[in-house]
Amino acid sequence: MAAKAELERRVAAVRRFNRFYTSRIGVLHYLGSDFSLGEVRVLYELAHRPDPPTATELCGVLGVDAGYLSRLLRGFERRRLITRTRSDVDGRRSHLALTAAGRAAFAPLGARSHDEIAALLAPLAEPDRVRLVEAMATIEGILGGADRTPPFTLRPHRPGDMGWVVQRHGALYAEEFGWDERFEALVATIVARFIERYDPACERCWIAEKDGARIGSVFLVRRSRTAAQLRLLLVEPKARGLGVGTRLVAECERFGRERGYRTIVLWTQSVLLAARHIYEAAGYRLTRKERHTSFGHDLVGETWEKRL
């Protein structure tokens, strides 16, 4: 009896938290939109998954009935919000993707969700923000199972990060490519300009962490009203193979779409093979090459671009 009573108290505590959190993050606000909560969830997955999923994959991720999902997808097709592309591997399956109209329909929903979470975090002191995000990661890890616990986390920049970005770029590129201190000076200039002109409405820096240690970084900065630039992608050698670089690039694209950018551009060097592989796999297109002498070496600079 005592064990049953304790279970009931815990059930009540979880339900109380669910009601509280649902209210705080504004889930019920979507009831007044043109989409149901289920439709919003499906649109979110289609907007943020790096590769177009199949309906079966969506069912697994969302934990919904196949018939229910099928009805939602048919509704999206009638409204021309999604497309289906037959799989090259299995002709019985199709990959789902948002159309331009679908991305336009989701954009205000994604921006609204971002702004509501930002407003939730804004009044908190930085230590409380850290505790909150860590507590959420704990919940996700426990309920998702050990196999779903993320090997690393992403967070916005905070004091001390910019010095780390400059130092690690200088040290790693000197060690791996023999670039001299002029590269570190360039990174310092980029970082200083980012901080001086930082506009959180349209720019971001993400720091990847594992076990409390920084393992990666990336910046997305504004170039024009419709174009953003991806800068300073870095992954520590000990963290390579975990998907850090791919996740950082995907996060730039997610934020770029939410903020209404149509294009992301980046500048890299032909010798940076790992980074080039990430960009190519993410759908970036090489648009320009130019030879130059920088950082003590003859290099080939490359401009890559992706339409969002």
Long-range contacts of 25-29 (CB under 8 A, 24+ apart): 25/116, 25/117, 25/120, 26/112, 26/113, 26/116, 29/112, 29/116
Among the candidates 66, 81, 108, a domain finishes at: 108
Same domain, 301 and 231: yes
Rounded Cα–Cα distance for residues 58 and 82 (Å): 14
CATH at 70: 1.10.10.10
Same domain, 146 and 233: yes
pLDDT tens-digit readout, 49-106: 767 888 888 887 777 788 888 898 899 899 999 888 887 666 677 888 899 998 898 8
CATH at 149: 3.40.630.30
pLDDT value, residue 176: 92
pLDDT value, residue 21: 79
User: Is 234 in a helix, a strand, or coil?
Assistant: strand
Domain that holds residue 76: 33-108
Rounded Cα–Cα distance for residues 254 and 48 (Å): 6
Same domain, 38 and 172: no
Residue 119, in any domain of the structure = no
Cβ pair 231, 304 in contact under 8 A: no
Residue 257, in any domain of the structure = yes
Residue 43, in any domain of the structure = yes
Same domain, 95 and 136: no
Residue 118, in any domain of the structure = no
User: Is 222 in a helix, a strand, or coil?
Assistant: strand
Domain count across the chain: 2
Same domain, 71 and 204: no
Same domain, 207 and 153: yes
Rounded Cα–Cα distance for residues 71 and 219 (Å): 39
Rounded Cα–Cα distance for residues 249 and 220 (Å): 9
pLDDT value, residue 91: 60
Q: Which residues of the chain have pLDDT under 50?
A: 146
Same domain, 101 and 157: no
Same domain, 218 and 98: no
Same domain, 65 and 175: no
Question: pTM higher than 0.75, yes or no?
Answer: no
pLDDT value, residue 284: 94
